[in-house]
Amino acid sequence: MSTSASKVVAIIQARMGATRLPGKVLEDIAGEPMLVRVVDRVRAAKGIDDVVVATSDRPADDAVAALCEGRGIACFRGHETDVLARFHGAATARGATVVVRITADCPLMDGAVLDKVVAAYHAGQSGEPVDYATNVIRYTYPDGLDVEVFSFAALERAMKEAKDPVEREHVTPYIRASGKFRVASVENETDLSRHQYRWTVDEPADLAFLRTIYARLAPTSPAGALFGMAEVLALFAREPQLLAIQSGSMKNEGYYASIAKAPALEKVPNRSTAKSRAWLERAAKVVPSSSQTFSKGPTQFPQGVAPAFLQRAKGSHVWDVDGNEYIDYINGLGPTILGNDDPAVSEAVIRQVHEGATFSMPHPLEVELAELLCEIIPCAEMVRYGKNGSDATGGAVRVARAYTKREKIACCGYHGWQDWYIGTTTRNGGVPRSTQELTKTFAYNDLASLEKVFAENPGEIACVIMEAVGIVDPQPGFLEGVREMCTRHGAVLVFDEVVTGFRMHLGGAQALYKVTPDLACFGKAMGNGFPIAAICGKREIMRVMDDIFFSFTFGGDVIGLAASIATIKEMQKKPVIEHLWAQGERLKDGYNAFAKHFGVDEVTSCIGLPPRTVCMFADTPKADSLLVRSIVQQELLERGVLFLVGHNLCLSHSNEDIEHTLRAHRTALEVLAKALDSNEPKQFLRGEPVQAVFRRA
């Protein structure tokens, strides 16, 4: 129930003019218009005091108003596209102190879910009241059970301050993403995000799907047509084939369409890269390639507009030597998982610096971190440390060779700079041919290609080393098939979790996909930007390290150990992984929606799991893929977004960051479309295009 001092009014947003399915709100579902189904379900919630339908004042929506009048449903009519003003008018007319926003295309709305979000709003967060509570910051509920609850005061402030047409059309973006309001996220006890349940109506297929659900459940449910989420999920468990009826449309496609139609995002004014260019000239004289890491070097960014040197960082933002500020989606190539200068990590590191940075004997932190890793990583029984991911992958290969007494390696993906792997690429200068010949490659999601490697090298493969997931999801049975094949052929299975560890799941991709390797290699995010890596695995294999040489001065660097322990403990306390999945999904869906809107979806797309997505760029008759990428990078840089080829997210990437980036993506892809429509796309680039680091040999 609502509190005695408040009046909770549910406002159901409805109109006839939907682009993809006009008139959908009055479509029949089991003998009643969809809008009536939604109203009945909202009225069933215990925490709602009043329900009103908010429709537009256009003649097309007279039918909505007439239905409401005939059914005794309160109705408010207002501006068609300024829906924020419409909501404010409806809330004012009904005397609301708390507003619940529902859309009329969600005929499976569950009163229990609605009550949970309302209760979360009233309860606040960490003892403090909130202005806005919702279950759509991270989609752990099915799409179509979306609930937003906010104070009338927040609505009134947004009414006065929100100027952007997108913010006014979609009511809550200003409240959710401006950073001026206290926001609470409500999540389901069981995370349903990976099931991609779609219980809202945008396409004819959605309507057919929901009619089928009502036909199955309404006649048999004790609650009749008010059956809830649990009953729908139980139906899917009995009849999983029903899921094939869903349309498969992305979440919030209408919101992305509104951004696509909005004006382009202006460039950051008075932006200079003069100091960067000066530092680059100095670097070229004393540093080969002008950088310690190829992927961070000047060849990977469109020169002329890109900075070459960064100076400082805080949270999800970085500043270059000229003072330009950027939202950072490179994040040091992935290590920053919490955000730059995270208080807990920085305090742990500073404390350790004062106690000592390098010791002449092992430090207790070596044991403490190893015990922690063994708790959270499925394959971990023993642990050894390095500084870079290549230390870990190189060490794992050496261990596997010593354990099996075999020399050949089967690999799939990128695994670092050491000879055994880099010899398979075009950057193989300096790698002996004999070493190159010992590494055999196979294709991801292709068990036959791995079986072929084993067949052509019988009894000679020491290990299979691979990323459990890169930018493409494993097909059903693929990882399990690799696991079985390694066991059958006596090879060690090594998962390279340098990228996936602490980003896809706290226990790595092996915990996400429930396939356990013999050894695993971690790095990048395990120290929130401080250099540390680890090999962990089965005790009987790790014991081989007693006899091989895997030893270096900074292998147990206590600064990295302290940073890693602090990082993991923060990740155990905070919803870091959940945040990465939620924000990454928004960026991925938005990018792909904009690419489709501007007609460049065959040239570029965003793929991969949400915590770490990659944007793909294709050759066209007028521009090769590197020019295409360069144009996109250039336009993002000029709008304050530091972008390489995708999104390495961290906990500090705020809703404001994501909203700005979506508009920057929208603008960059519009410019790309104009460039590709022109006779000379290169004229749109104000510098030199990026270059490839390497390609497969």
- 19 and 78, same domain (yes or no): yes
Residue 373 lies in a domain: yes
- 45 and 125, same domain (yes or no): yes
**Spatial separation of the C-alpha atoms in residues 266 and 659, rounded to whole Å:** 14
- 171 and 279, same domain (yes or no): no
Kindly report the CATH number assigned to the domain that includes residue 286.
3.90.1150.10
Q: Which pairs from 320-325 meet CB under 8 Å and 24+ separation?
A: 320/273, 320/275, 320/276, 321/275, 321/276, 321/279, 322/271, 322/272, 322/273, 322/274, 322/275, 322/276, 324/268, 324/271, 324/272, 324/273, 324/640, 325/640
Residue 676 lies in a domain: yes
- 626 and 550, same domain (yes or no): no
Identify whether 414 is a catalytic site residue: yes
- 173 and 32, same domain (yes or no): yes
Given 82, 496, 518, 657, which residue is catalytic?
496
Q: Which of 196, 223, 258 is the last residue of a domain?
A: 196
- 21 and 122, same domain (yes or no): yes
Pairing of strands 408-412, 382-386: unpaired
- 539 and 593, same domain (yes or no): no
Residues of the chain with pLDDT under 50: 1, 696-697
Residue 697 lies in a domain: no
Kindly report the CATH number assigned to the domain that includes residue 106.
3.90.550.10
- 597 and 517, same domain (yes or no): no
Residue 220 lies in a domain: no
Residue 237 lies in a domain: no
Residue 650 lies in a domain: yes
- 584 and 652, same domain (yes or no): yes
Q: Are 570 and 506 in contact (CB under 8 A)?
A: no
Kindly report the CATH number assigned to the domain that includes residue 492.
3.40.640.10
Given 408, 524, 588, 596, which residue is catalytic?
524
Residue 238 lies in a domain: no
487 lies in which domain range?
Answer: 356-573
Structure confidence at residue 325 (pLDDT): 97
- 383 and 496, same domain (yes or no): yes
Q: Which of 138, 169, 196 is the last residue of a domain?
A: 196
- 175 and 78, same domain (yes or no): yes
- 564 and 581, same domain (yes or no): no
Identify whether 473 is a catalytic site residue: no
Identify whether 328 is a catalytic site residue: no
Structure confidence at residue 20 (pLDDT): 79
Mind listing the pLDDT tens digit for each residue in 504-515?
A: 999 999 999 999
Residue 580 lies in a domain: yes
Cβ neighbours of 226 (radius 10 Å): 18
Token look-up 């047509």 returns: 225
Structure confidence at residue 428 (pLDDT): 86
Structure confidence at residue 42 (pLDDT): 98
Given 197, 326, 414, 444, which residue is catalytic?
414
Q: Which of 160, 180, 196 is the last residue of a domain?
A: 196
Tell me the β-bridge partners of 520. 495, 536
Mind listing the pLDDT tens digit for each residue in 237-291?
A: 999 998 888 766 777 888 899 999 999 999 999 999 999 999 999 999 999 988 9
Domain count, the chain: 3
